Structure 1
Amino acid sequence: AGALVTDWARRVVEAAEAFDAGAQALRVRRDSRLRVAASMTIAEYLLPGWLLALRAQRPDTAVSLHAGNSAAVAERLLADEADLGFVEGLTVPTGLDSVVIAHDNLIVVAAPGHAWSRRRRPLDGAELAATPLILREKGSGTRQVLDAALGGLARPLIELSSTTAVKAAAVSGAGPAVLSELAVGEELSMRRLVGIPLSGVSLARDLRAVWPTGHRPVGPARDLLSLTRG
Structure 2
Amino acid sequence: MAQLSPRMPEIGALEVLLSVARLGSLNRAAKEHGISQPAVSSRIRYMERLIGVPLLERSTSGSRLTPAGALVADWARDVVESAAVLDAGISALRAERAHELGVAASMTAAEYLVPGWLVALHEQAPELKVSLRLANSADVAMLVLGGEVELGFVEGPSVPEGLDSQDVAADRLEVVVAPRHPWSLRRTPVPATELVATPLIQREPGSGTRYTLERVLAAFGPLAPPLLEASSTTAVRSAAAAGVAPAVISSLAVAGDLVERRLVAVPVEGIDMRRVIRAVWRSGHQLLGPVRDLVGVATRSRHATRRLHD
TM-score range with shorter-chain normalisation? over 0.9
Aligned partner (choices 73, 76, 84) of residue 140 of structure 2: 73
* Structure 1 counterpart of 2:255: 185
2:274 is the alignment partner of 1:204: yes
Q: Is the 8 A contact 1:101 1:207 kept in 2?
A: yes
Asked which structure has the greater CA Rg, the reply is 2
* Structure 1 counterpart of 2:223: 154
TM-score, with length taken from structure 1:
0.93
2:191 is the alignment partner of 1:124: yes
2:89 is the alignment partner of 1:22: yes
* Structure 1 counterpart of 2:23: none
Q: For residue 173 of structure 1, report the CA deviation from its aligned partner.
A: 1.1
* Structure 2 counterpart of 1:167: 237
Aligned partner (choices 290, 295, 298) of residue 228 of structure 1: 298
Q: For residue 189 of structure 1, report the CA deviation from its aligned partner.
A: 0.4
Q: Per-residue CA shift, 1:164-220, capped at 9, x if unaligned?
A: 111111111111111111111100000000010112011111110001111133222
Q: For residue 229 of structure 1, report the CA deviation from its aligned partner.
A: 0.8
| Structure 2 spans left out of the alignment, 5+ residues | 1-54, 56-64, 301-310
* Structure 1 counterpart of 2:6: none
* Structure 2 counterpart of 1:219: 289
Q: Is the 8 A contact 1:73 1:87 kept in 2?
A: yes
For residues 214 and 62 of structure 1, what CA distance do their matches in structure 2 show? 24
Q: For residue 26 of structure 1, report the CA deviation from its aligned partner.
A: 2.2
For residues 124 and 22 of structure 1, what CA distance do their matches in structure 2 show? 64
* Structure 1 counterpart of 2:8: none
Query: Which letter maps to 1:168?
Result: S
2:156 is the alignment partner of 1:89: yes
2:93 is the alignment partner of 1:31: no
TM-score, with length taken from structure 2:
0.70
For residues 181 and 219 of structure 1, what CA distance do their matches in structure 2 show? 32
Q: For residue 115 of structure 1, report the CA deviation from its aligned partner.
A: 0.3
Bigger relative contact order (CA 8 A; separation at least 6): 1
Q: For residue 160 of structure 1, report the CA deviation from its aligned partner.
A: 0.7
Q: Per-residue CA shift, 1:22-49, capped at 9, x if unaligned?
A: 3321221212211110111000000000
Q: Give the SS at the match of 2:205.
A: coil
Q: Is the 8 A contact 1:73 1:86 kept in 2?
A: yes
Query: Which letter maps to 2:198?
Result: T
* Structure 2 counterpart of 1:64: 131
Q: Give the SS at the match of 1:147.
A: helix
For residues 220 and 74 of structure 1, what CA distance do their matches in structure 2 show? 19
Aligned-pair RMSD on alpha carbons?
1.7
Q: For residue 154 of structure 1, report the CA deviation from its aligned partner.
A: 2.2
Q: For residue 19 of structure 1, report the CA deviation from its aligned partner.
A: 4.8
For residues 66 and 224 of structure 1, what CA distance do their matches in structure 2 show? 15
Q: Is the 8 A contact 1:109 1:193 kept in 2?
A: yes
Q: Give the SS at the match of 1:120.
A: coil
Which structure features the higher share of strand residues? 1
Q: Is the 8 A contact 1:96 1:213 kept in 2?
A: yes
Q: Is the 8 A contact 1:135 1:158 kept in 2?
A: yes
Which structure features the higher share of helix residues? 2
For residues 292 and 74 of structure 2, what CA distance do their matches in structure 1 show? 42
* Structure 2 counterpart of 1:54: 121
Q: Give the SS at the match of 2:295.
A: helix
